[in-house]
Amino acid sequence: MVGGGSCYIDFFDKLVLDDFSQTYDAIPNSAAQKFGDLLVPELKEFGVEVKGIVAGTREWDLNPFWKRNGF
């Protein structure tokens, strides 16, 4: 595990990837955005329409993996 956080659909039908894991720390916003890009087509298959992606992780609390790799 190289980080964690929350994932949900908000009131504006946006996919929100934010927060962090107390055990695994956070991932960079850029990684959360890419993960969201992968999730959107999967959610569509289940009938969930996404109008945008919001990535707001706690980048100041990154998992050491990301710090070692220049994020």
Exposure of 32 by Cβ count < 10 A (0-12 exposed, 13-18 middle, 19+ buried)?
Answer: buried
User: Is residue 1 predicted with pLDDT exceeding 90?
Assistant: no
Could you report the per-residue pLDDT of 11-67, keeping only the tens digit for each? 999 999 999 998 999 999 999 999 999 999 999 999 999 999 999 999 889 999 999
Report whether pLDDT(9) > 90: yes
Site of tokens 């908000």: 10
Place of tokens 């009131």: 11
- Write down how long the chain is: 71
The reported pTM is 0.86
* CA–CA distance, 35 with 65 (Å, rounded to integer): 17
